[in-house]
Amino acid sequence: MRALKLQISHLFLPISVMVLLIIINLIKGADYFNITLVNGALYGNIPNILFGASELVILTIGMTLVTSASQGQDISIGVSATITSAIFVLFVLNAGQVTIFTILAGFLISCIAGLVIGAFNGILVSVFKVQPMIATLILLTGGRSIAFMIDGKLSPILANDISNQIGTVIPGLPLQTPIILTALFIVIVAVVLKTTNLRLYAESVGINPSAARLNGIDPKKIIFLTFLIMGVCSAVAGFIAVNKAGRHDSVNLLKFIMMDAILAVAIGGNSLIGGKFSITGSIIGAYTIEMLNRTLLRLEVETEAIKAFKAVFIIILMVVASPVVRVFAKKALDQIRSSLAGIAVKLTGAPKDTAVSGTDASGKKEN
Amino acid sequence: MNKKIFTIVLILAIIVPFALFVGCGQEAKSSLIKVGIVNLPPEESGYRQANVEAMNTVFSKDNGYDAKQTNTGDNSEQIAAAKGYIRDGVDYLLISAANASGWDDTLKSAKTAGVKVILFDRTIETDPSNYQAALVSDMAYEGKMATDWVLNSVSQPIKLVLIRGQLGSAAEIGRSAAVLDAQKAGKLEIVADGTGGDSWSLEEARKVVEAAIAAGKDFNVIYAQNDGMAQGAVQALEAAGISHGKDGKVKIIGFDFNRFALRNVQAGYWDADMQCNPRQAAEISKWIKSGKLPSGIQYQTELLLTTDTITDELIDQWGINADPGKGVITR
């Protein structure tokens, strides 16, 4: 019960931001939640958001772990995904007949490539103690050239039915495939976090590496591990992105997505200097950003001003999210709650179970 | 001890791959025409890839050139390279500048050294007397051609979705201008106006069209300022079950002549594509060989191909990037 309460207060920020956006959208038009069936798949604003945010959500999960343990951010995620998906495309195009097995094999190979990239970044950060942002800057700078070379200096085309179905809809399923893949990925991450000590280890390393080491947790290993996971996340996101696009464009694929991913982690109520984290918050944060992008389009903000509007929105969100405002809001909320409880006590005469804690709080204040 | 070895191995593992990238220089001396080429890196875009490739094939030894090339996106590196070529005493200096300003001194020193400067693809903000000639694509011309196609082949009333590329780029400004003028003149209506913001991304284009569909807007043509964005727009139409292309409700036009886009036009999946020609090298070589250099800004003639006018030869000759093959649609 207590844990649940703690989590809800943690998620207060991302959820409130999302609710705010939903309200704005509903004011603009009551048809916001309308869903229709097109080609056997659900279609509407909400499926569009789920579809559009799939890569961002997956990358945000990895980013949350990296942020927690390494106290910094991986800014090479979009580029890593571009490299891994280039390898995927290279494999699939050279495998001859495209079957579900070649796609799967290509995916696994791209995951291995993701692990290699993660290991490269991870070694720089954990062994050589390079700041994460600097370490990953190397790939951010040079990675797209590497992907370009893998592509054979062209934008190879993935024009086959299986890729197309992965990027759109598999006949018979009511949801677009990227949405299903993202949901699967989230489930896998949830199971891993539930069954392993990863969360505890990552958080303790992020809060205080020396203390973690004294307690038998090797910070190097944990930081390295989070970068490996980040690498796999990049590979999965790259896989989805390239199948959506049907073409490998090493210049534009997932460009600037690290900005949104870092933002999603922050909106999710996570500290960007590591420590405790909430994956749920980050995921909601990622969907919120996608919703924000589309809200601006829905409001028909002038084309030239759209980025500025996004920035203003984000500033407002971050100020609202800042600890200063949060503490203030919590105090105000407590006060309202206790005074309400007081009124309830007076009205009913006898305190109910739920009101007991409230009376305690107001009693304390009088002392 | 073990740990030390491990660390050394790690350092090597990181350094060695980079060392492999370091290429080796070439040397050549003869009576060939000496040309210095300052260009942007091929990984910038499919356009630049085709551009650099054309430079390499045209300005080769077999064609009588001794060409040196620097490809970088950094303006100061470009200027340094240009100065180096002037010192080397090249006959011609070909420049596609990363930044339109900051070149005055370099161009003047080229002039005093007797080096003929030819700009390609991008102009430089400087006095026209500082360079011999410039061969560029006229983005406004491209926009006009495409808009004329829209006005002539889309059924009235024309309701257009405009998808702009990177805001403020020469291509975006030029390609938007004619459409915006046509709207002012009342020849067409722009029902949605979106952009990739800082990029030319497929995802952003898709979102713009999705938003237009969700808002219940009626439109019958999509004017996307590059092929990737047209592709994203069509994906949004497909997901919403809206017909497009030759026999469809919504007409599609893209820009840049990517081969996949031309194949889509050929298959009737899209309707038209407007060229942006990256192969200035052949024309410039013709100027040099004939000895008759034009002066001032020269515009390239460029094509607009539709489902009716497109042929395999044209795709092969003028397309850029990978060819998916005849009849293959890139969704």
More confident residue, B126 or B180: B180
Cβ neighbours around A232 below 10 Å, total? 20
- Whether residue B315 has pLDDT greater than 90: yes
Q: Which of B49, B164, B202 shows the shortest C-beta gap to A153?
A: B49
Optimal mutation site among A251, A259, A304, interface B, most CBs of chain B within 10 A: A251
Residue A159: per-residue pLDDT: 86
Does A77 fall in a domain?
A: yes
Give CA–CA dist B202/B200, Å, rounded.
7
pLDDT of residue A9 exceeding 70 = no
Mean pLDDT to the nearest integer, A45-65: 96
Which H or E element spans position A120? helix A100-126
Whole-number Cα distances in Å, B164 to A117, A227, B177, B189: 34, 36, 11, 16
Closest CA to B129 of B141, B117, B143: B117
| B328 and A CB contact within 8 Å | yes
CA distance A233 to A121: 14
3-state secondary structure of A351: coil
Selected for mutation to probe chain B from A57, A154, A298, A310 (highest B CB count within 10 Å) is A154
* Residue of A41, A51, A155 lying closest to B321 (CB–CB): A155
Same domain flag for A233 and A359: no
The answer to whether the CB of B171 falls within 8 A of the CB of B225 is yes
In a domain, A290, yes or no: yes
The per-residue pLDDT for A310 is 87
* Nearest-neighbour CA in chain A from B129: distance (Å): 35
Contact across the interface for A157 and B241, Cβ inside 8 Å: no
E strand or H helix that includes residue A44: strand A41-44
CATH of domain B33-131: 3.40.50.2300
Contact A256 B198 (CB under 8 A): yes
- B239 vs A contacts (CB less than 8 Å): 38-39, 41, 43, 51, 168, 176
Q: Is A100 within the bounds of a domain?
A: yes
Least confident range from A178-187, A205-214, B162-171: namely B162-171
pLDDT of residue B80: 93
State the span(s) of chain B assigned CATH 3.40.50.2300: 33-131, 139-277+305-318
Q: Do A62 and A124 belong to one domain?
A: yes
Same domain, A171 and A22: yes
B235 touches chain A (CB under 8 A): yes
Token duo for residue B75? 């303006």
The structural domain count of chain A equals 2
Range of lowest pLDDT (A76-90, A205-219, A245-259, A347-361)? A347-361
**pLDDT score of A354 more than 50:** no
Confidence band, pLDDT 50/70/90 cuts, at residue A260: very high
- CA gap B237, B243 in Å, rounded: 7
ipTM computed for the complex: 0.84
Of residues A96 and B303, the one with the higher pLDDT is B303
Comparing A362-366, B87-91, B290-294, B296-300, which segment has the lowest mean pLDDT? A362-366
- What is d(CA A61, CA A69) in angstroms, rounded to the nearest whole number? 13
Q: Kindly state whether residue A116 falls inside one of the protein's structural domains.
A: yes
Residue B235 CA to residue A164 CA, distance in Å, equals 11
Q: Do A30 and A92 belong to one domain? A: yes
User: Do both A188 and A331 map to the same domain?
Assistant: no
The domain of A332 spans 325-366
Which residues, at least 6 apart from A330, have a Cβ–Cβ distance to it below 8 Å?
Answer: A9
DSSP structure class, residue A252: T
Residues of B in contact with A123 (CB under 8 A): 10, 14
Using a CB-CB distance cutoff of 8 angstroms, which residues of chain A are in contact with residue B183? none
Average pLDDT over chain B reads 88
A238 within domain boundaries: yes
Residue B32 · residue B64 · CB < 8 Å: yes
CA-to-CA distance for B244 and A31, rounded, in angstroms?
A: 25
Least confident of A122-136, A224-238, B17-31, B34-48: B17-31
Q: Are residues A338 and A243 in the same domain?
A: no
Query: In the structure, what pLDDT confidence band is assigned to residue A52 with cuts at 50, 70 and 90?
Result: very high
DSSP conformational letter for B155 = P
Residue A303: per-residue pLDDT: 80
Contacts of B10 by beta carbon, 8 Å cutoff, 6+ apart = A123, A127
Contacts of A176 in chain B (CB under 8 A): 239
Specify whether A239 is located in the same domain as A353.
Answer: no
Within a domain: A315: no
Distance from CA of B85 to the nearest CA of A (A): 25
Give the residue from chain B lying closest to A93, CA to CA. Answer: B324
Token pair recorded at residue B207: 């979102």
Which chain B residue has the Cα nearest residue A29?
A: B215
Q: Between residues A128 and A320, which one has the greater pLDDT?
A: A128
Residues A61, A149: one domain?
Answer: yes
Q: What angle do CA B267, B194, B149 make, to 5 degrees?
A: 45
- Spatial distance between the Cα atoms of A241 and A118, rounded to a whole number of angstroms: 19
Chain B nearest CA to A176, separation (Å): 9
Cross-chain residue pair A297–B43, CB shorter than 8 Å: no
Give the pLDDT of residue B27: 45
Report the distance separating Cα A345 and Cα A190, nearest Å.
Answer: 42
- Among the candidates A310, A334, A352, a domain finishes at A310
pLDDT at B15: 63
CB pairs under 8 A between A and B: 117
Q: Give the tens place of pLDDT for each residue, B241-254.
A: 999 999 899 999 99
Q: A181-195, A316-330, B31-45, B240-254: which has the minimum mean pLDDT?
A: A316-330
Does one domain contain both A342 and A279? no
The string of pLDDT tens digits covering residues B48-99 is 888 998 999 999 999 999 999 999 888 899 999 999 999 999 999 999 988 8
Tokens 């409001």, residue located: A299
pLDDT at B7 over 80: no
pLDDT level of residue B6 (50, 70, 90 thresholds): low
pLDDT per position as a tens digit, B188-204: 999 999 988 778 889 99
Q: How far is CA B186 from CA A144, B151, B183, B212, in A?
A: 43, 11, 5, 21
pLDDT band with cut points at 50, 70 and 90 for residue B28: very low
- Per-residue pLDDT at A337: 86
pTM of the predicted model, to two decimals? 0.84
Cβ atoms of B175 and B196 within 8 Å: the answer is no
A297 & A257 share domain: yes
Q: In terms of domains, do A253 and A357 share one?
A: no
- Return the pLDDT at B199: 80
Q: Where are the beta strands (DSSP E) in B18-155?
A: 33-39, 65-71, 92-95, 116-121, 133-136
- Test A252 with B7 for CB contact under 8 angstroms: no
Give the Cα separation of B47 and B33 in Å (integer): 26
pLDDT average, residue stretch A140-155: 90
Which of B193, B207, B322 is closest, CB to CB, to A156? B322
- Name which of A308-317, A319-328, B98-107, B119-128 the model is least confident about: A319-328
Q: Is B201 on the interface with A (CB under 8 A)?
A: yes
Phi, psi torsion values for A256, nearest 5 degrees: 65, 15
The answer to the question of residue A317 being in a domain is no
In single-letter form, the type of residue at position A156 comes to: P
Q: For the purposes of burial, counting CB atoms within 10 Å of the CB of B295, is it exposed (0-12), middle (13-18) or buried (19 or more)?
A: exposed
CATH classification of the domain holding A15: 1.10.3470
pLDDT band for position B107 (cuts 50, 70, 90): very high
Q: How far is A259 from chain B (nearest CA, A)?
A: 13
Any domain includes A320: no
The predicted structure's pLDDT at residue A365:
41
- CATH of B139-277+305-318 given 3.40.50.740, 3.40.50.150, 3.40.50.720, 3.40.50.2300: 3.40.50.2300
In the numeric block, which tokens belong to residue B110?
A: 């080229």
Query: How confident is the model at residue B17, as a pLDDT?
Result: 54
Exposed/middle/buried for residue A278 (C-beta within 10 Å: 0-12, 13-18, 19+): buried
- Record the tokens describing residue A327, joined without a space: 């503490």
pLDDT score at B30: 56
Helix (H, G, I), strand (E, B) or coil at B134: strand
DSSP state of B301: P
